[in-house]
Structure formats: C-alpha cells, structure tokens
C-alpha cells in the first residue's frame, strides 16, 4: 500500500486497489457478528 500511495502522490496513474472494498466487507462482517453475539448473550 505504501508503494501505491507513493505512486499516487507522484502523480502517476495507477490502477484502483480493491483492498478498500475488502476492508469494508470485513467491517460489515464484524458488525453483524457483534450484533448477533449481543442478541445471543441477552437471550432475546
């Protein structure tokens, strides 16, 4: 990621990174897991 940001800051045209979308997906999974765990612990 550092190499890519260096290229972007230098004004080069680089392909888009999919890492951001992976990060967002993992965050969504984390939120769902936290909600499910909370519901299960409350016994609802």
pLDDT of residue 4: 82
Tens digits of per-residue pLDDT, 4-37?
888 888 988 888 888 889 999 999 999 999 999 9
Domain total for the chain?
1
Q: Does the structure show a pLDDT above 70 at 1?
A: no
Residue 1 in domain: no
What is the predicted pLDDT for the residue at 17? 80
More confident residue, 38 or 2: 38
Residue 28: predicted pLDDT: 98
| pLDDT at res. 10 | 92
CA distance 9 to 24: 23
Tell me which residue range forms the domain holding 38. Answer: 18-44
Residue 10 resides in a domain? no
The pLDDT of residue 12 is 87
Q: How many C-beta neighbours within 10 Å does residue 16 have? A: 8
Q: What is the DSSP string of 21-42?
A: HHHHHHHHHHHHHHHHHHHHHH
Both tokens assigned to 13: 């045209």
């Amino acid at each position: 990621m550092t190499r890519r940001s260096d290229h972007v800051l230098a004004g080069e045209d680089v392909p888009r990174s999919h890492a951001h979308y992976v990060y967002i997906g993992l965050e969504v999974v984390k939120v769902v897991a936290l909600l499910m765990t909370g519901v299960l612990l409350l016994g609802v």
